[in-house]
Amino acid sequence: MTPHAVEVRNLTKQYKDVTAVDNLSLDIFEGECFGLLGPNGAGKTTLVKMLTTTSPLTGGTINVMGMDLHKEPRRIKSLYGVVPQGDNLDPELSVMENLITFARYFDIPREEARIRATGALSLFKLEHKASGKIKNLSGGMKRRLLLARALLNKPRIIILDEPTVGLDPQSKYLVWQKLKGLKSRGVTLLLTTQNMDEAAVLSDRVAIMHQGKILSLDKPNALVEKYVGDRVVEILPNEQRRAELQDELNKRGVEFEAVDSIFQVFHSPTDALCADLGNLGFNAWQRLGTLEDVFIKLTGRGLVE
């Protein structure tokens, strides 16, 4: 059985009258990429803050690599590499100076820090910017630099909060490739993201979080199969025929949702349904089910601000 990197039991975080994390339990296995998905306000950031010791627990326990977070926070923090969602680089220092300064927190000797920083910059294709100032980097370069910085202490667990937000496609795929490489070397990844493609591509398992609770947790393809099926049928009726289409779908006993002007049908015999609806004069087609379908189905379609 794969050992646990992180064990969370009955975790609760209360802010006055708001319960941000509500009696949550989960396990993250060593060497896996664990995806944590949820809309704004779901409790993802609060959970990460508790894991990284920047916010105290109201209740419950966290164990990391067999150590109690409450008893051994310094040892546990030394195992982490953290990529925050926001940019907390020092704009007055050069790229290399930022990394060497950060390495002091882990008591890494200066020359060793320079060697590690050079390797990390090369990994994320930033070696040509080593002497440049932070304020002269693009947003995408800053994100890659934050990832490089997280590797300096050779962490066993990397916590990534929206790691590719704002990146162009080329940079995003570069980051995905490097994260896969780290995982293949046994590094455990905790990924919080609202990018469903990213979660599906990188994560071994995904937890969907909403209002401080885990709604469902499984492999991405298993979640898709469970909640929407391999294929989803979509139908775009004329406004005058919406009620007729709804009656037809109800008569067939299929599971469906009306999303604005489009109807979506889940767990149905897709080929037969598309053919039958086409014969009735409806514009119907099928597509692959996605993790985004699951996310929206479980957390709702309303905007959470």
Q: Please spell the DSSP secondary structure of 226-280, one letter per residue.
A: HHT-SEEEEE---GGGHHHHHHHHHHHT-EEEEETTEEEEESS-HHHHHHHHHHT
pLDDT at 97 over 70: yes
The secondary structure of residue 94, as a DSSP letter, is: B
pLDDT mean over 223-240:
95
Residue 42, pLDDT score: 87
Percent of the chain topping pLDDT 90: 83
Residue 48, pLDDT score: 93
Taking the C-alpha atoms of residue 297 and residue 305, their distance in angstroms, rounded to an integer, is: 18
Give the model confidence (pLDDT) of 204-231 as tens digits: 999 999 999 999 999 999 999 999 999 9
Do the Cβ atoms of 186 and 112 come closer than 8 Å? no
Question: What amino acid is encoded at 178 in this protein?
Answer: K
Residue 235, pLDDT score: 96
Give the model confidence (pLDDT) of 124-152 as tens digits: 999 999 999 998 999 889 999 999 999 99
pLDDT at 45 over 60: yes
Give the model confidence (pLDDT) of 51-79 as tens digits: 999 999 999 999 999 999 999 999 999 99
Q: Where are the domains of the chain?
A: 4-224, 231-288
Residue 20 has which token pair?
């941000």
Taking the C-alpha atoms of residue 39 and residue 72, their distance in angstroms, rounded to an integer, is: 32
Question: What amino acid is encoded at 115 in this protein?
Answer: I
Contacts of 10 (CB under 8 A, 6+ apart): 23, 24, 25, 59, 60, 61
Mean pLDDT of the chain: 93
pLDDT at 179 over 60: yes
pLDDT mean over 284-297:
94
May I ask the CATH class of domain 4-224? Answer: alpha beta
- CATH of the domain spanning 231-288: 3.30.70
Handedness of CA 115, 117, 118, 119 (dihedral sign): positive
Say if residue 181 is exposed, middle or buried (CB neighbours under 10 Å; 0-12, 13-18, 19+): exposed
Question: What amino acid is encoded at 278 in this protein?
Answer: G
